[in-house]
Chains A and B, each alone.
Chain A
Amino acid sequence: MKYISKMNKIGFLSAIAAMLILSSCNKDLEQFSEAAPVTPTGNSLGATLAANPDDSLYLVLVKRGGLLETINNTATTFTMFVPGNNAMRSFVAAVSGGLLPPGTPDPIIAGFLSTTFPADQAAGIVSYNIVPQSLKIANIPAAFPNFQYATILNPQPTLSDLLRLTTFPSASAAVGPWVNNVPLVATDIAASNGIIHNTLAMVVPPQRFLWDRINTDAGLTYLKAAIIRADSGIVPGPPGGVPTTLQGALESIGANLTVFAPTDAAFQATLTGAITQALIQQGLPPATAAATAAALASSPSVFSNPALYPVLTAQTVQGIVSYHLLTSRAFTNNFPTTETAFPTLLSTVFTAAPTNIKLKATFSVPFVSAATVQGNYNATPANILINASPLLPDPYGTSDQHFVNGTIQEIDQVLIPLPL
C-alpha cells in the first residue's frame, strides 16, 4: 500500500510537472514583418558639399542662409543644384556690384558671403536650389516642355504653406541636362539624403513677373500696348484670384507661361505691312498707303488709335497675343532639334483652325546656338534673339529670360495665326 501511495505521488507530481511544462508559454500574436526601413548610409548633403573643395564657397552661402541643418537632416530627401566655386566667384562679382571681381581670393569672397551678403537672400537662393525630392537625371522627363518642380522656397509663407517657387530641370538628349537657363556640369552626386547636381552658374530665384519685364522693357513697348488693347473691356479678376486678363495672367504667381515677345521692330514691320495692305484695299495708292501705314505704326499708340479699332479689334489683338504664349515654361535648351508643333494659349480658346506654333533649336553643346519659332501664316520662322553671351539673366538678356511665372523669348517676327 505504501508502495502504491508512493507510486501515486510520483505519478501525480510528474503529471502536474508535465502540465506545467507543457503550458509554459503561449506565443504572441502572429506578426508580419515589414520591409526594414533603409537606413541612409554615407555623407549627408552638407557633408558631401564639405568634402568637395569646389563646393566650399557655396557651403558658406548655405551656412549664411541657415540651411546647413536642413540639408543635413537625414529624415528629408533633397536634390540640390550647386554652383561650383568658379560660378560662385562670378555670382559674388555680380552681387557685390563689381567690388569683388573674379580673381578675388576665395577667403575674401567667403568672408563677404558669410558677413556682408544678406542672410535672407542667401536663404532664398539656397532654398531655390533645393527640390524636395530625389531627382536623378534619368528620372527627369526629356520631353518638351520642361517639367515643373517645386523648390523649398516659399515666397510668401504668411499667405500659404503651399506656395513654392518652381524650377525647371530638363534632360534633353541633344544638349544635356540643364536647370532653368543654366547647364549642369556634374550630375547625380549621391548623398545619404539626396542628390547634388553641379551647375555652371548660380541658379538664382526669379523675383520679377513677366509683366514687370514687358511693362518696363523699352524694346517691348508694342507688345505691352498690344496686351493692353487685348485686355480692353475685360474686367480684371479679383486681386489674388484667377486672372481674367492677359496682363493679369502675366502678373499672376499662379501662371506658368512662355512669352514669345516680338520686338518693337517686329511689330512695326508687321503692322506697317498689314495696314498698308488694308489701305491699298481701301483704294489708297501703294506709296501713300505705305507712308501712312508707316506713320500709323511708328509708335505703340497704334493699338490705341481709334481710327484703327475696326482693324485692330480687341479680339484680333487678343488672338495675336495669345498666339505668342505657351501655357508652359519653355527654355530653349529643351527645344526639339527638328521643327515640332506645340499648342499655344490661343489653342485653348480657339479650335476652329490650327493654332500651333513650331519650335526648333540648334545646339552647340552645352549651349543653344539658334532657335526658331514659326506661326501658321509666317513665311519664315521667327528667330529667337539668343543672348549675346550665354546665361545673361533678366533684364539683360533676350532669350530664356526667367521670371516667377514664366519665360520670355524675344523674337524678330510677329507670329501670325490667321491671314491678317
Chain B
Amino acid sequence: MRKVTSYLVTLIMANILCVAAFSQNVTISGNIRNSSSKESVAAVSVTVKGGSEGTFTDDKGNFSITAKSFPVTLIFSSIGFESQEITVTEKKKLDVAFKPVSSLGQEIVVSASRVPERILESPVSIERISAANIRNAPSSNFYDIVSTLKGVDVSTSSITFRTPTTRGFGGSGNVRFNQLVDGMDNQAPGLNFSVGAIVGLNELDIDNIELLSGATSALYGSGGMNGTMLMTSKNPFKYQGLSFVVKEGIMHLGDNERDPSAYHNIALRWAEKINNKLAFQFSGEFVRAKDWLGSDYRDYDRSTSKLRAGDRRTDPNYDGVNVYGDETTADIRQVLSGIAQQAPFLAGFISTLTTKPINVSRSGWTEAQLINPNTINFKLSGSLHYKITNNTEAIVAAYWGTGNSIYTGASRYSLRNFKMGQYKVELNNKNWVLRAYTTQENAGDTYNLSATTQVFNESWKPSGGSTGWYSQYGQAYLTAKLNGLSDQDAHDAARKVADVGRPVIGSSAFNKSYDSVRVIAVPQGGALLDRSDLYAIDGNYNLSTYTHSIADVIVGANFKDYRLNSQGTLFADSANPIGIREYGAFAQLSRAITKALKVTASGRYDKNEYFKGRFTPRITAVYTVAKNNNIRASYQTAYRFPSNQMQWINLDLLSYKLIGGNKDFTALYHFDTNPLYDRDSLANGKKVSQSFGELKPESLSSFELGYKGLLMDSKLLVDIYGYYGQYTDFLSRRVVVQSKTGGPIVAGDADTGNVFSIPVNITEKVKTYGWGIGLDYRLPANFTISLNVASDNLEHVPKSFIAYFNTPKYKVNASLSNSGFGKKKRYGFNIAYRWQDAFYFEGDLANGNLQPVTTLDAQFSIKIPKVKTIVKLGATNLLNQYYYNTVGNSNVGGLYYISLGYNLY
C-alpha cells in the first residue's frame, strides 16, 4: 500500500512540476459574437492549436491569448456552436462570427465513466442539464428541473426542499440516491437528507447537472443504489463577470389554508479572472416565501399504520396526518373505572360504556396554525482558484446555507435557522483530482412538530393526574352520557370541557409557551440538537497517459469520517458523539476492443467500521451500431451500508420507538433477555420471533440495456433503457414488539407491549425492474418537442415489511420549447407537462395511497440584448392544481413569477 501511495505521489508531483518553460510573446485579442443574433458569446473556449495555452471569452465575448509566435491557429469551441479554427498571422483584433448549431446529443458528460465522453456514448443511463436548459426552464428553481428528466421522481416537503430519486424510494430523506456538489457528498451527515436545494449552488452557479439513474456505487461509493446526481459549478476562469436574477412571484392562489402571498428570489454570481493564474467566484441567493403547507387532515391510525375514516368530530381518537399534538392518546376507561370506584352507584352505568376501549387523542393543531409560514433560504458560496500550472488548478471553496424549511421524516420537522457548510480544498489536474472536504451540519432551532406540540399540550394542561386533561375529559364524557347524549356528542362535549384553558393560536401566551417548548431538546421538548459533521478525503488518478496502449485506467480512493452528534435527540448518542468511519478504493479499466466496441470494467472495495468490507464490480460495454447510434449494456453490483440513521437513530414516536440496527441497542432495550416478536403475526395470534443486531449492507445486482442514438437526419434523439435488478439483504423496516413486563410474550402485547420499528434485512430476493423511453425531436426554427416515459417496479417484498419503494409505476414528461425564435430570435418559451401514476406511499410519518399527479409548467421569455437582460414570465403548476407527491408532505399549488436576469450565460 505504501509503495502504491508513494508512486501516486510521484506521479502527481511530476504533473504539477511539469511546467511549460518556454517563453510566450505574441498576444491575440478579439471578440466573439453569435452570427445570427449578433450577441456576444461568453465562455467560449479559445485554445492554441498544437499548444497547451487556452482561455475563455469573458461575459462581453472578449478574449486575449498569448502564443509563441505567428502564425497561430486558434480553435474556438462552445456547446451549441459550430467549432471554428482561425489562423492569425499578424497582431490585430479578431472579430469572430460564431455560428449556432443544433446539437442534439452532442453534450459531453463526465460522471458515467469519470472521463469526458459524448452523452451518446455513455455506457449507462445518464441525463444532463446544462446552464442553457436552466435559462429556458419554467421552474422557479434550477433544482426542480430534475423532475422533468426521464425516470425521476421528486418528493416535495417545502418550496425549498425537494428530494429527487430515480428507480424508486422517493421521500424526503432518500438515502439510496447520492447527490454530489463539486465532488462533495451533499447529504447532511446527521439528518441524512441531501440539501442540494438549500445549501450550495444557485442557478447562476450551475455549469451542469448530470444524473445517473440506477446503481452507481461502483464509481461513487456507498449509497447511490438508485442513482447519483452530480452538480458542477461554473469555473471562474471560464465564466466571468457579474450576473444576477431577480424573481418575484405570487403563490397560494386559491389555497384554502393561506392567502395569496409573494415569492421573492434573488440570486447573484460574481466571478473574475484576476490574471491567468488566479480567479475567484462569489455567489449568493436569497429566497423568501410563505411555504407550501402539509394540509392532509385525514385520520391516521398509528397502531395499524393506515389511514382510516373519521375526523376530529367523528373520531375521538382522531390523529390527523398534518395535525400535531393529537398523537397523544389514552383509553379513558381508566378514568371511568376510577369514577366507578368512587361513585359505585355509577358503576353499572359505566360498565355499559366500557365494553371496549375508548381511545381519545388530545386536541391538536394544524401545520398552518403552528409553523412559521416564512420559508427563508440564504446561500453563500465562494471559491478561489489558482492555476499552479496550465494543467493543475488549486481550489479553495466554501458553500454555506441557512434558512427555514420543512422536512418530512418520522414527523414534520420545521427546520429553523438550519445551517450547513461545506468547505473543501482541491487540487485538480487534467489527470487527477485530490480533494478534502468537511460538511458541518447544525440543525439550529429545528424542531419536531409532533413532539413539540405534544409536550406543549402537557405544558398547558397535563394529560394525567386527577385534574389532568384526561380526567376532565372522562368526567365530562360521563356527564354527557348520563344526560343521554350520543357517543359523538358526548365526546364533543367532553373535549370542550377538557380544552378549557387551551391557549389561543397566535396569542402571546401561546407563542411564548410554544417557543419555550420547541427550544428544549426532545423528549422534554421538541428541539433536535443535531450538530453532526463529516470529514472526507477522496482522489482519483487517470493513468491512461501511461497505460493507454493496454487500457485506459483510473484509480481512486476515499475516506469518510462521520461524527454523529445529536446529544441524544435523534441518535443514541446522549453520552458521546458516535463516530462512523468508511473507506474505499476503486479501479477502472476501459479499452476499445474494436472500433465499434468499448468495454469498461471497474471494481470497488469499501469498508465501514461496523460492517464487513464489500467489493462491487461493474462492467459496461458500448457498441456503436452506426455513427451516433450506440447500444449500451451494463452489469453492476451496487451496495449501501445502512444509513447513519438506520444504524443509530433512537427516536421515541410514542406509539413506537424508531431505532437503528446497531447491536448496542440490544443492551439498551434488553433484547437479549426480553426478545422481540413480529407485531402483525402476534396480533393474529402467532408468535414469530425476530432477531436483532445482525444488520448487513444491502446490495443490488443490476443489468441494464440501453440504446441512444440520433435518427431522422439527427433531428430525433432517442434514448431507451430497460433494467432488471435483484436486491440481496434488502434493508427495510419491521414493526416488532417485546413484553412490557419482561415476562413471556402474550397476544395482548401486540397492543400493549413495547413497540419498536427496527431495520432488518429481507432474506428474500427483492426484485426491481423498469424501463424508460426518451424522445427529443428538433423541429424547424429551433423548436424542440420532448417526451419521456418511464416505469419502475419492485416485487417480492414480503408482507409486513416496509419497503418505502414509493414510486409510481408510470410517469410521463412532455415538453415543447424554443430557446430563440421570432425576429432576431429573442423570444423563448417552454411548456412542460408531467403526469405520474397513483401509488401507495410508505413513510415513517404516514402511509397511504397517492392520487395521480399532473402538472403543467410554462414560461415565456424575451431577451433584451442591449442591456444583456432576459425577462421571463413563468409558472410552475400553471393550472394551480394542488397536489401531494408524498403522504404527509406539502400540498403544492401554482407559483407565478416574473424574473429579470442580467448577464446570463
State the A residues within 8 Å of B (CB): 4-5, 8, 11-12, 15-16, 19-20, 22-34, 37, 70, 73, 75-78, 130, 132-133, 147-150, 152, 161-164, 166, 194, 253-256
Contact = CB atoms under 8 A, between A and B. Distances in A.
B781 A8 contact: yes
A369 to B, nearest CB: 29
A147 B349 CA distance: 9
B484 A19 contact: no
22 contacts: A8-B781, A15-B814, A19-B816, A19-B856, A23-B835, A23-B854, A25-B881, A29-B296, A29-B884, A32-B308, A32-B310, A33-B309, A73-B484, A75-B486, A133-B481, A148-B349, A150-B349, A150-B482, A161-B482, A164-B345, A254-B343, A256-B344
Nearest to B308: A32
| List of 4 A-B pairs having minimum Cβ-Cβ separation, nearest first | A76-B484, A132-B484, A148-B348, A32-B309
Contacts of A30: 298, 307, 848-849, 851
Given A23-B833, A133-B352, A133-B484, A162 B343 contact: yes
Interface string B481-492: 111111011000
A75 B492 CA distance: 12
Nearest to A134: B484
B314 interface: yes
B344 A132 contact: no
B858 to A, nearest CB: 9
Contacts of A27: 851-852
Contact of A34 (B310, B344, B489, B781): B310
B905 interface: no
Contacts of A161: 475, 479, 482
A148 B343 CA distance: 12
Contacts of B483: 76, 132, 152
Contacts of A166: 345, 348-349
Nearest to B833: A19
Nearest to B314: A34
A76 B485 contact: yes
Contacts of A16: 816, 831
A24 B785 CA distance: 21
A32 B307 contact: yes
A252 B902 CA distance: 89
Contacts, number: 133
A255 B310 CA distance: 41
Interface in B320-363: 339, 343-349, 352
A34 B308 CA distance: 9
A28 B851 contact: yes
Contacts of B212: none
Contacts of B407: none
Chain B interface bracket (under 10, 10 to 19, 20 to 34, 35 or more): 35 or more
Contacts of A147: 348
Contacts of B851: 26-30
Given A11-B779, A23-B879, A26-B852, 10 more contacts: A16-B831, A19-B833, A24-B879, A24-B881, A34-B314, A76-B489, A132-B481, A133-B349, A162-B339, A162-B479
Interface string B205-218: 00000000000000
Contact of B779 (A8, A148, A150): A8
Nearest to A76: B484
B882 interface: yes
B484 A130 contact: yes
B783 interface: yes
Contacts of A34: 309-310, 314
Contacts of B343: 162-163, 254
Interface in B297-322: 298-299, 307-310, 314
A162 B298 contact: no
Nearest to A141: B348
B501 interface: no
Nearest to A19: B833
Given A8-B779, A19-B833, A166-B348, A152 B854 contact: no
A250 B486 CA distance: 35
Contacts of A32: 298-299, 307-310
Nearest to A28: B851
B883 interface: yes
Contacts of A26: 851-854, 881-883
Contact of A12 (B296, B309, B816): B816
Contacts of B744: none
A148 B350 CA distance: 10
A256 B852 CA distance: 63
A5 B831 CA distance: 19
A73 B816 CA distance: 64
A313 B486 CA distance: 54
Given A132-B484, A147-B348, A15 B816 contact: yes
Nearest to B879: A23
Contacts of A29: 296, 298, 851, 884
Contact of B486 (A23, A77, A130): A77
Interface string B234-271: 00000000000000000000000000000000000000
B822 interface: no
Nearest to A163: B343
A37 B855 CA distance: 38
B50 interface: no
Most chain A Cβ neighbours within 10 Å, of B346, B347, B482, B848: B482
A149 B854 contact: no
B478 interface: yes
Given A8-B783, A31-B298, A256-B344, A78 B309 contact: no
Nearest to B851: A27
A290 B881 CA distance: 104
B506 interface: no
A130 B483 CA distance: 10
A75 B298 contact: no
Interface string B280-305: 00000000000000001011000000
Nearest to B881: A26
Nearest to A25: B881
- Most B Cβ at <10 Å: residue of A70, A132, A147: A132
Interface string B698-718: 000000000000000000000
Contacts of A73: 484
Which of A29, A34, A37 has the largest number of chain B CB atoms within 10 A?
Answer: A29
B743 interface: no
Interface in B343-393: 343-349, 352
Contact of A75 (B478, B489, B783, B883): B489
B338 to A, nearest CB: 12
Contact of A77 (B298, B484, B852): B484
Contacts of B884: 29
B347 A148 contact: yes
A191 to B, nearest CB: 12
Contacts of A148: 345, 347-349
B810 to A, nearest CB: 13
Contacts of B478: 162
B716 to A, nearest CB: 14
Nearest to B488: A37
B835 A15 contact: no
A32 B304 CA distance: 15
A215 to B, nearest CB: 22
A23 B346 contact: no
Contacts of B835: 22-23
Interface string B842-865: 000000110111111000000000
Interface string B460-499: 0000000000000001001101111110110000000000
Contact of A256 (B345, B482, B781): B345
A16 B849 CA distance: 30
A256 B349 CA distance: 14
A156 to B, nearest CB: 12
B368 to A, nearest CB: 16
Nearest to A32: B309
A162 B482 contact: yes
A127 B278 CA distance: 95
Interface string B723-742: 00000000000000000000
